[in-house]
A and B are shown apart, each in its own frame.
Chain A
Amino acid sequence: MGRGYIVQDDVEGYLSKLCEQKADPVTGLLIGQSSTQRDFVVMAIRTPQKEESAAAARNSVDKEWVTEHARQVSRMLPGGLSVVGVFIITNADAKDALTTLRQLLFAVENLISSEHLWDPADDDVTDCVTLHINPKTRKTVCRTFDIKDPKSVAKPADWKYQSGLCSSWATVSCSLNVDMLLPLPNNRTSTGNMEECLKEGLKAWAHQIESGLCLIDGKRLPEDSELTVGQRRNVRQTYTAQLLITTVRDENKRLTDVIEQCGGSVSVTGAIHSRAYLHSNKPKARLAEKLLKRDVVSTVATRVQMMLEELLASDQESKGKLFCLPHRIFCPLKVSGPLCVCDYQFSDEGLSEVTERLKEMLDIDAAEEDLDTRQEMTFEITGCDITPGGHRDMHACVLCPDCPPFCCLGVAMATAVALLATAASMLYLNDI
């Protein structure tokens, strides 16, 4: 017996429209949630056009481009939603199409899982779906592969459309404080080294989150208990989670390694909003906990990664700096139900850049009014009194050596002030 995919009916219309396009092949990603009993697909996203590609290249599948797109998309999915498969719309031979799909699927899934900071769980579903649609006949061929097994063969699977699929999905969310302080190595403290340290620190922090206690709506539920009680269609089920963590002793650390020389330090402090969606087919507390924890870890890791990419791109070699990580914005999907995708907005960007990215990456038409910006607050620094260079460049909130330290701040939160006090006391110790 193969797997059964239940698909939001909007996806049918979307794929149909893609069939009418002249381009061949058209590839894309399938987004949804897999459980042991059933699999759900809520969205399909076509691979965006590569601008500089030659006309000839447009007719072949660029595997690297597809995987890079998948990686970007994966960052824009809250907990519970992930890339569950790939599709291709092509007149080509079914066998060739399946081979291409298989290659794409493994490349995509391997790249995405290589970036995870958590270990796979025993109850993770490792089957992913490939969909081949012939644009002329509209015939769809649906197969699954076990991506844990490189020798996996295609297994047939059901593909069924249903309306109102997500209307009664549950949402579990929380706002969570992050507070990390890590030493930088004693040699060159370039951005590259900072990346290493942050990756290690994030891994240790991710382990803490994974081993933490999870309360849902204030209660510690047994793992196998079902989450939704008295399920009714079209009723929003929202749950608030609390996470309790404890320090995990590093067994490898010798008692003598208490003080070490370092070349500086890096800290990440602040709060994030985390969210996970759960399918409506009797989800268990264990699943809610797993998906939420993974979202917590990936949202922090994603932002740090994005910040590092920015720094590398703009080549900021600096002595003492403070950087605002991008904050998370949610955009509801047009389908009825609680599902949202998300994006990260840097402090110097406007909402128009967000809507542009949503269109380019996720093929979503969203208006600025649709965006939910209220889940996280930006850390605000309002201009300096003495600004020889008129530093209004908020991008990365760079404090250049010319700018005297924190003369005036229009900061919203008391915690932020405390943070700045600590940061300021450490920052200007370099000699210029």
Chain B
Amino acid sequence: MVVVDSETATVLRVKGLLEFRCQLDGTDEQLVRNVISRTFETLRSQVKSESCVLAVSDSPVIIWPNKDAYATPEEITPSTLCEDMHQWIQADEQESSGKKSSKKKSKKSSVASVINLRLMTEVTKPGPLSAPILTKTVLKSHFVSVTLPLDCVVCTGRSDTIKDACEQLIEALTHQLCEMEKVTLQNMKGMTLLVPEPVHFLLPEPKGLVTVVYPVGVPDSQLVAQRKELHQQFELPDDRPYFRRANAYHFPNEPYKDGYLRNPHLALTHPTLDNGKVYLVQGIYSYHHYMQDRVDDNGWGCAYRSLQTICSWFQQQGYVELPVPTHKEIQQALVDVGDKQASFVGSRQWIGSIEVQAVLSHLLGLTSKILFVSQGAELASKGRELANHFLTEGTPVMIGGGVLAHTILGVAWSETTGQIRYLILDPHYTGAEDLQVITDKGWCGWKGPDFWDQTAYYNLCLPQRPKVI
């Protein structure tokens, strides 16, 4: 388990598949455990052997970590700095054959960059070697065949060399195989075996990136004991989840398969107010807005979209497994609780904060607080309440009033001057998932108190975080 902190310059992530194969010539539990352990030991030796190879993705660089970090091309030596490897990585479809001719990438100061490596095996060796043998065993027995998905992360500092990195990577890989062995043996029941799978989690500073091995197919609900142990081990509060599968860290260079933008507000510069502080939504949400998913809800669906954004937050923080509901599913939920007639489903009727609260309760089992202001002008005085909400709950807020609904992702508020700004995510956007357009044109942006209709009344739905791990 490794830590990423402000000293980290580069994160190295090695992924690979290792074949785990063995024959169990009996069903005696101890024998089975011995064979499994022995096979894991064989894999550990493989990782520590000279035939273990790390190939840097999108580049011609290949490193033999157990041969004193010998690498090809020859310009790379064991004392090359890890962060210099970026020069060799081609981000797009160019031929990955040589150094990039352009200048070194300018790194964002606080975000460590990730270099991906593939774990491979060299099957060639200098000869002559012994010709092959075919061995046949005839015995009614069991055969184990699993593909283990190895996935390790190592954080390197500015002065770390390839050689340093290799030592750390090999250690991480062998350690992960030990963890996998533990999890496999723990979850063996008779002649069934669960595949161990590593998941990465980003814990709050200074703990950083941590990797946990979970058995595939076992739902979060059955892993409470493991999570309790992890919370204790890392001294984490026991009322919010950090280790559910949905909390898994999403690496910056991995695209999201569903195509939605995540946290567009991170691309903004936050306002600075005199004696003011910025209070933001915590965690990850997806931006839902008009016209997505081939649903033409232009003019009536804004509250639905805000609700979808909220649901996406709860899903991605691991509180619920339910996927983000469609307009029809939202409407059906309201019919099911008796709030609407059956004819509501399939209609283009608006909903408000109360309906949002009802759906969050019925579909996701969540409670929400409702905040009412009789005039939009009063919102300017709700700085403290909103700041507190983002501090303790950190969930996105749906605000509906008059004819419009929006999502509030944060406030900038000064306790002394009372100045206030609202970070708004606007569901009325009808364009494509273009971060540049969305931030430039203010579809996600900071607004002043005059953004609200000063005379209209507003209801805010503030979803509450369940106190679970």
CB-based contact A263/B72 at 8 Å = no
The reply on B60 being an interface residue by CB < 8 A is: yes
Total number of residue pairs linking A and B with CB closer than 8 Å: 223
CB-based contact A184/B147 at 8 Å = no
Within 53-95 of B, Cβ neighbours of A (below 8 Å) are at 53, 55, 60, 62, 72-73, 95
The reply on A215 being an interface residue by CB < 8 A is: yes
Shortest Cβ distance from A425 into B: residue = B25
What's the tally of chain B residues with a CB closer than 8 Å to chain A? 55
**Contact partners of A186 in chain B: CB under 8 A:** 140
Distance, CA A248 to CA B149, complexed state (A) = 11
The reply on B295 being an interface residue by CB < 8 A is: no
Distance, CA A318 to CA B139, complexed state (A) = 11
CB-based contact A261/B137 at 8 Å = no
The reply on A419 being an interface residue by CB < 8 A is: yes
Choose one: B18, B129, B135, B138; the contact of A175 (CB below 8 Å).
B129
Check A323/B134 contact, CB under 8 A, given A183-B145, A218-B72, A259-B144.
yes
Check A307/B134 contact, CB under 8 A, given A181-B21, A249-B17.
yes
CB-based contact B144/A429 at 8 Å = no
**Contact partners of B140 in chain A: CB under 8 A:** 186, 261-264
Question: What is the CB-to-nearest-CB distance from B196 to chain A, in angstroms, rounded to a whole number?
Answer: 11
The reply on A376 being an interface residue by CB < 8 A is: yes
The reply on B101 being an interface residue by CB < 8 A is: no
CB-based contact B16/A183 at 8 Å = no
CB-based contact B123/A426 at 8 Å = no
CB-based contact A325/B135 at 8 Å = no
**Contact partners of A300 in chain B: CB under 8 A:** 132
B interface majority secondary structure:
strand
CB-based contact A273/B127 at 8 Å = yes
Question: What is the CB-to-nearest-CB distance from B1 to chain A, in angstroms, rounded to a whole number?
Answer: 25
CB-based contact A245/B132 at 8 Å = no
Within 234-279 of A, Cβ neighbours of B (below 8 Å) are at 241-250, 253, 255-273
**Contact partners of B147 in chain A: CB under 8 A:** 247, 249-250, 253
Within 406-432 of A, Cβ neighbours of B (below 8 Å) are at 412-413, 415-416, 419, 423, 426-427, 429-430
Question: What is the CB-to-nearest-CB distance from A319 to chain B, in angstroms, rounded to a whole number?
Answer: 5
**Contact partners of A174 in chain B: CB under 8 A:** 124
CB-based contact B60/A220 at 8 Å = yes
CB-based contact A303/B132 at 8 Å = yes
Distance, CA A340 to CA B53, complexed state (A) = 32
CB-based contact A323/B133 at 8 Å = yes
**Contact partners of B348 in chain A: CB under 8 A:** none
The reply on B33 being an interface residue by CB < 8 A is: no
The reply on A42 being an interface residue by CB < 8 A is: no
Distance, CA A260 to CA B149, complexed state (A) = 20
Q: Which of B55, B126, B136 has the most chain A CB atoms inside 10 A of its CB?
A: B136
Q: Can you name 11 A-B pairs with beta carbons within 8 Å?
A: A219-B72, A243-B123, A245-B123, A246-B120, A247-B16, A261-B140, A261-B142, A264-B140, A377-B130, A379-B130, A429-B137
